[in-house]
Amino acid sequence: RASSAPISRIETQAERTPQAIALSLGAEQLSYQQLNRRANQLAHKLREQGVGPDVRVGLAAERSLDMIVGMLAILKAGGAYVPLDPEYPQDRLNFLMQDSGIEMLLTQTHLLDQLPIPAHVQTLNLADALDGYSTENPINQTSPDNLAYVIYTSGSTGKPKGTLLAHHNLMRLFAATDDWFKFDENDVWTLFHSFAFDFSVWEIFGALLHGGRLVMVPREVTRSPEDFHKLLVEQQVTVLNQTPSAFKQLMRVACESPVPMSLQKVIFGGEALDVASLKPWFARFGEQTPQLINMYGITETTVHVTYRPITEADTQNPASPIGEAIPDLSWYVLDADFNPVAQGCSGELHIGHAGLARGYHNRAALTAERFVPDPFSNDGGRLYRTGDLARYKTAGTIEYAGRIDHQVKIRGFRIELGEIETRLQAHSAVREVVVLALEGQLAAYLLPTQPEQDQHALREALKAELRAHLPDYMVPTHFIILDNLPLTANGKLDRKALPAPDAGQLQAAYVAPQGELEEQLAAVWSDVLKVGQVGRSDNFFELGGHSLLAVQMLVRVREQLQREVSLKDLFEQPVLADFCATLQEKNGESDHALDELTKSLEALKRLSAEEIDNLIA
């Protein structure tokens, strides 16, 4: 088997350390030998069904050992995996299945009735018995240029675009960064991110290509910094990959905890890093162990592009340093005429050489627009136009300066605002629309077709429409209804003149909090969500809350109100009055608030039948 195939490295590892643990999820685990044999059996079955080089195979699975078995089996059979996160809306999943051209889908029994599987797509159950199939490694049929995976990202035309990545892209990523990281069999990694987010490629293969152990993080644990910190400690994780947003929540728990962690490296990616936010971490842990590393990157250039160890001194600089390029990549900061800019000046960042994707699936025009001939190369090379603004600093280092276009990152997910605008523009009630990202939240400014329409009803209808078609991180928090869109003197949209969102529009008709606990909770919500008056009928998420703000709020509840409650409780009871009742119910017999049981019962008496039904549900 060619040494350039990721699968060959894993097969060699299975021979060298067959009993070493490759994967774990809770109490379940697989050794390298078990993982390799199970993947081999499924790969032989896939070969029997016609899977081979450049054949795209859908993979729709919840976090499980079978998910990784399926991924490796597709690669062993010679195919390319297309990750389909079951959490995505039906409309998006349907588009991905149709657009990717898959004819086979690996999935789980309980998902079969939930997924919008096209009639022509054959399904295989990951849990099916494979007793009749060989456990031997299939004969390699792939070349380094064959596809390994297709990951979809948000598209400006309103349609996601599938990025085509080959085996050599993946292998050179780890080969080119080996001198920096020296990953080995002693490392313990986490799979924290969705397998449809390309950060997961680095997590999964970073562990398995080096003989390390991959700890799959249950979805509910990814939403609880306390539980995740506990997992890092108990599993003795050494390599952690995080978006800065998620790390901020973990940092608070880690800095307060006296329990030591085993971390050696923390690698940031997915969004711009605010280095000043790391001051508490350096104050608690210093800058030696673990080492903090910022890695700028994009799906089209195979996960990572740059490498920059972060020091405590960096926290005094407001910029986002992204460091130097991975050695087998070239990069240029160019002006609009493709001329290099001077040191200290900003321009568009272009990436060349080994990491570039093949292009976008079935999007020849877009591929030609974004993957352009390299004017600095004599060998017919290409450059990828990132759309990111950057500026040269000292020799060989670059600083991230934002987006050129209107693509943004919210909670680590790359979003083309045009995709949201296209979806809203298609609604009969919308005449014109523009979507902006403001302080980590999305705001939709729109002109209605019927100006006299009830604004609250319109907002709710548009939210429902988007939630049916887009992931939750692409649904705007704010919907601002205008009489007209402001223009500049030359007739272009004047984005700076758009009014700031009014948080008050997010609120239900105000009903004053009842009782001391509701008043205290309303004050916490008001502070965390940066809104004025919060009433007992207000919904945390409709006021602009999301999972990261929810975690902050729960921390405040614990610290200020001495109450314990889970994130799940908030998702189930997002209205203040209902959430407060749950809070009282769960803390009714705590040592520090013995009288709260009585208060809880009194609160329950005041609830309507509908509210009580909500609590029981």
Beta strands at 478-481 and 161-166: parallel, antiparallel or unpaired: unpaired
User: Residue 594: what pLDDT?
Assistant: 35
Angle at 434 between CA 431 and CA 438, to 5 degrees: 150
Residue 611's pLDDT band (cuts 50, 70, 90) = low
Residue 52's pLDDT band (cuts 50, 70, 90) = very high
Distance CA 395, CA 484 (A): 48
Q: What is the CA radius of gyration of the chain?
A: 25
Question: How much is the mean pLDDT over the chain?
Answer: 88
Evaluate if residue 599 carries a pLDDT over 60: no
Give the distance between the most distant pair of CA atoms in the chain: 80
User: Residue 589: what pLDDT?
Assistant: 42
Q: How far is CA 555 from CA 230, 481, 552, 563, 581, in A?
A: 16, 34, 5, 9, 18
| Strongest mean pLDDT among 150-159, 346-355, 593-602 | 346-355
Q: What is the mean pLDDT of residues 69-82?
A: 98
Q: What is the mean pLDDT of residues 399-426?
A: 79
User: Residue 180: what pLDDT?
Assistant: 97
User: Residue 392: what pLDDT?
Assistant: 83
Q: What is the mean pLDDT of residues 415-440?
A: 85
Residue 82's pLDDT band (cuts 50, 70, 90) = very high
Those residues whose C-beta lies under 8 Å from the C-beta of residue 113, and which sit 6 or more positions away, are none
Residue 617's pLDDT band (cuts 50, 70, 90) = very low
Higher pLDDT, 617 or 395: 395
Q: What's the pLDDT tens digit per position in 297-343?
A: 999 999 999 999 999 999 987 678 899 999 999 999 999 899 999 88
Q: Taking the alpha carbons of 532, 536, 538, 543 in that order, is the dihedral positive or negative? A: positive
Distance of CA 88 to the CA centre of its chain: 12
Q: Which residues of 262-297 are buried (b: 16+ CB within 10 A; e: fewer)?
A: ebbbbbbbbbbbebeebeebbeebebeebbbbbbbb
Angle at 274 between CA 270 and CA 280, to 5 degrees: 115
Distance CA 346, CA 402 (A): 10
> 506-616 domain in CATH 3.20.20.70?
no
Is residue 351 within 8 Å of residue 383, measured between CB atoms?
Answer: yes
Q: Which amino acid is at 539?
A: N
Q: Taking the alpha carbons of 296, 326, 183, 67 in that order, is the dihedral positive or negative? A: positive
CA atoms within 13 Å, Cβ hemisphere of 26:
8
SS3 call for 411: coil
Q: What's the pLDDT tens digit per position in 126-172?
A: 999 899 999 999 999 999 999 999 999 987 667 899 999 999 999 99
Q: Taking the alpha carbons of 519, 524, 529, 531 in that order, is the dihedral positive or negative? A: positive
Q: How far is CA 33 from CA 22, 68, 127, in A?
A: 9, 14, 18
SS3 call for 76: helix
Distance CA 392, CA 541 (A): 40
Distance CA 326, CA 339 (A): 22
Distance CA 23, CA 26 (A): 10
Burial (CB count <10 Å: 0-12, 13-18, 19+), residue 64: middle
What is 407-496's CATH superfamily?
Answer: ANL, C-terminal domain (3.30.300.30)
Those residues whose C-beta lies under 8 Å from the C-beta of residue 11, and which sit 6 or more positions away, are 1, 36, 137
Name the nearest CA neighbour of 270 among 161, 408, 406, 474: 408
User: Residue 378: what pLDDT?
Assistant: 84
Evaluate if residue 520 carries a pLDDT over 90: yes
User: Residue 451: what pLDDT?
Assistant: 85
Distance CA 410, CA 544 (A): 13
Is residue 89 within 8 Å of residue 64, measured between CB atoms?
Answer: no
Percent of the chain with pLDDT over 90: 62
Cα dihedral 34, 148, 471, 122 in deg (nearest 10): -70
Which strands make up the sheet holding 104-107, listed edge to edge? 122-125, 104-107, 56-59, 80-83, 147-153, 161-166, 359-360
- Asked which of 152-156, 208-212, 218-222 is least confident by mean pLDDT, the reply is 152-156
Q: How far is CA 600 from CA 43, 314, 453, 605, 611, in A?
A: 57, 49, 41, 9, 14
Distance CA 361, CA 606 (A): 57
> What are the sequence ranges of the domains in the chain?
1-167, 407-496, 506-616
Q: Quick one: DSSP state of residue 357?
A: -
User: Residue 534: what pLDDT?
Assistant: 92
Those residues whose C-beta lies under 8 Å from the C-beta of residue 492, and which sit 6 or more positions away, are none
Provide the token pair at 54.
Answer: 């450049």
Evaluate if residue 600 carries a pLDDT over 90: no
Measured from the Cβ of residue 532, the count of other Cβ atoms closer than 10 Å reads 10
Residue 161, beta-bridge partner list: 153
Residue whose token pair is 């809104």: 531
Is residue 34 within 8 Å of residue 10, measured between CB atoms?
Answer: no
Evaluate if residue 226 carries a pLDDT over 90: yes
CA atoms within 13 Å, Cβ hemisphere of 464:
6
Q: What's the pLDDT tens digit per position in 8-34?
A: 999 999 999 999 999 999 999 999 999
Evaluate if residue 596 carries a pLDDT over 70: no
Evaluate if residue 507 carries a pLDDT over 80: no
Distance CA 47, CA 185 (A): 31
SS3 call for 146: coil
Higher pLDDT, 74 or 243: 74
Q: Quick one: DSSP state of residue 293?
A: E
Which segments of 58-166 does DSSP mark as H helices, in order? 65-76, 90-100
> 1-167 domain in CATH 3.40.50.980?
yes
Q: What is the pTM of this model?
A: 0.77
Question: What string of DSSP letters covers 164-218?
Answer: EEEHHHHHHHHHHHHHHH---TT-EEEE-S-TTSTHHHHHHHHHHTTT-EEEEPP
